[in-house]
Amino acid sequence: MATGEITNKSPSLPPYPEMILEAIEALNEGKGSNKSSISKYIESTYGGLPQGHKVLLNVHLAKMRDSGVLVFWKNNYTKRDPNAPPRRGRGRPPKPREPLPPGTILPPPRPRGRPPKGPDGSPRPPKASPGSGRPRGRPRKMARPAGGFGETSPPKASGRPRGRPPKVKPVLTEVGA
């Protein structure tokens, strides 16, 4: 034991899981014992408890609950019923594996990551073009005309003007005469 190491429990104290189980059995409450009653029982039964008693009690209660020794229900801890079926884990259970026939030798598992390149260092073959002759990406800008954009272009051969035709107004007839 190193000289700088400090122990939290005195040599006369039993381990915390034993003290917790003894407290739950001695209190013998129907719906289980809560954390404060377990702590009070341990403090009254065993004298010189370490300074971090409440923290240690919390840690050990959580460990015992997670391992299945204790059942935690509505803020009360009870001992697990020995006749109860084991608790199912979370998630989907794994598929049952068929045992391998005797005498089979398993190959070594594949290493993780990308396999190394070969020593010849041959380049990859180029990918086949998608079929269309057009290049990928945004097309290039059109070249500016020599005279600039201000010039008017020659009129088109079709006789129709651009845009929507004007609305036809009905002819007004004079009333009277």
Report the alpha-carbon distance of residue 168 to residue 173 in Å, rounded: 16
* Number of domains the chain contains: 1
Please report the pLDDT score of residue 3 as a whole number: 47
The answer to whether residue 39 is domain-embedded is yes
The answer to whether residue 93 is domain-embedded is no
pLDDT in tens, the chain (177 residues): 454 444 444 567 888 889 998 898 888 888 888 899 999 899 898 877 888 888 999 999 999 888 888 888 888 888 887 787 776 778 898 899 888 888 888 888 889 999 888 777 666 666 666 667 788 889 888 887 666 655 566 655 677 888 999 999 988 877 765
Q: What is the CATH number of the domain that holds 25?
A: 1.10.10.10
Q: Which domain holds residue 75?
A: 16-79
At 33 the three-state DSSP class reads strand
Report the alpha-carbon distance of residue 76 to residue 31 in Å, rounded: 7
The answer to whether residue 22 is domain-embedded is yes
164: left (phi over 0), alpha (psi -120 to 50) or beta: beta
Please report the pLDDT score of residue 99 as a whole number: 84
The answer to whether residue 176 is domain-embedded is no
